[in-house]
Amino acid sequence: MPKKELYWVAVATALVAFAQPAAAQKYGGPPKPTVQDYGPFGNDGYKNVTPGTTSGKCGNPAGSCLFYGGDFLFDPLYPSSLPNGLANETTLLVPGAPYGAATWVPFTVPKGEAWNVTGLFTNNLSLYGVLDQGFEPTSVAYWSINKGLFPGNGGTIIDSGTTAATSTPTGRAAFGQIEFTVQVTGISVVLTPGSYWMAVVPICTNTANPYCDDIFFESDAEYLNTAPTNAFGPAEPVDASFIDSLYFGQSFDPANGALGACGGSGCDAFSAGVLGRKAE
């Protein structure tokens, strides 16, 4: 199967691309749980649950919100070929440094504002949602805030790191996968007005952990006739996201557009956010 089919997820292709690599892993420990162990998912294979939120809060666990692109929403009436997520991971299946694949999400700090950023998060569809780099701290994610991205170029890194992270179910699921919020906090970045891109990439690279034989797709947030549920702050720029992955042969390629990673449909915006407060 061509690599291009491996880095986005849609109704008809959610698990097929990864079935053989997963089966090829030899593991002699206790049986791994199946996706059904997280269910029930119902006959339609998905569920949409929007947990109650407090105005001005986002993330999971919730914190003071500066920007949130909005909740993932799977619509069974979408065409089966419409991509609903893009690879965002460093795992045994998709290795790399500083990441195997990263989806870069745009956001804007408005004129006249300065943001004190204390955390970042992405929502990702995954089988298990486990973070484990094999040594302390085991649960980490790579994060970065960049400026000036354009096709083929990652722009300027404002700040980045590999930081302790949490992976928490959102209550949403699709394609037999569960959505997890992968969130880093305790960072400190000051942003002045302008356009930025962010990434938070789950890391599960412990060869002794069977759950690292996993997949992560960053959930999209489709702007179809309305703003996504729970979107907050400046609107996420549409059709301005990128994917970068040496493994998949992508170098800051646009996610959308006829030549984009998602083939011209879907992936116009993603479910990610920025935590912190506006500077006084």
Tens of each residue's pLDDT in the chain, 280 residues: 234 344 555 433 333 233 222 222 222 344 443 333 333 222 233 333 333 344 689 999 999 999 999 998 766 556 555 667 889 999 999 999 999 999 999 999 999 999 999 999 999 999 999 999 999 999 999 999 999 999 999 999 999 999 999 999 999 888 788 999 999 999 999 999 999 999 999 999 999 999 999 989 999 887 665 678 899 999 999 889 999 999 988 899 998 876 677 766 667 889 999 999 998 7
Six-digit token string for 227: 């703003």
pLDDT at 25: 26
What is the Cα–Cα distance from 9 to 152, expressed in whole angstroms?
23
pLDDT, tens digit, 9 for 90 and up, residues 147-195: 999 999 999 999 999 999 999 999 988 878 899 999 999 999 999 999 9
Nearest alpha carbon to residue 242 among 156, 157, 161, 152: 152
Task: Report d(CA 202, CA 173) in Å as an integer.
Answer: 18
SS3 252: strand
Q: Are 218 and 88 in contact (CB under 8 A)?
A: yes
**Residue 9: its pLDDT value, please?**
54
Going from the C-alpha of 112 to that of each of 133, 173, 193, 232, 280, the distances in angstroms are 40, 39, 7, 18, 11
CA angle, 72 then 68 then 268, to 5°: 55
- The confidence score (pLDDT) of residue 39 equals 31
Give the closest residue to 173 by CA, choosing from 274, 22, 4, 37: 37
The CA distance from 111 to 96, in Å, is 37
Question: What size, in residues, is the chain?
Answer: 280
The answer to whether residues 106 and 241 touch, using CB atoms and an 8 Å cutoff, is: yes
Token pair for 228:
């996504």
Tell me how many degrees the CA angle 238-243-247 measures, rounded to the nearest 5: 165
Beta strands per DSSP E along the chain? 8-9, 57-59, 62-68, 85-87, 90-91, 102-109, 115-126, 140-147, 156-174, 177-191, 194-204, 216-219, 242-245, 250-254, 272-278
Rounded to whole angstroms, the Cα distance separating 130 from 62 reads: 20
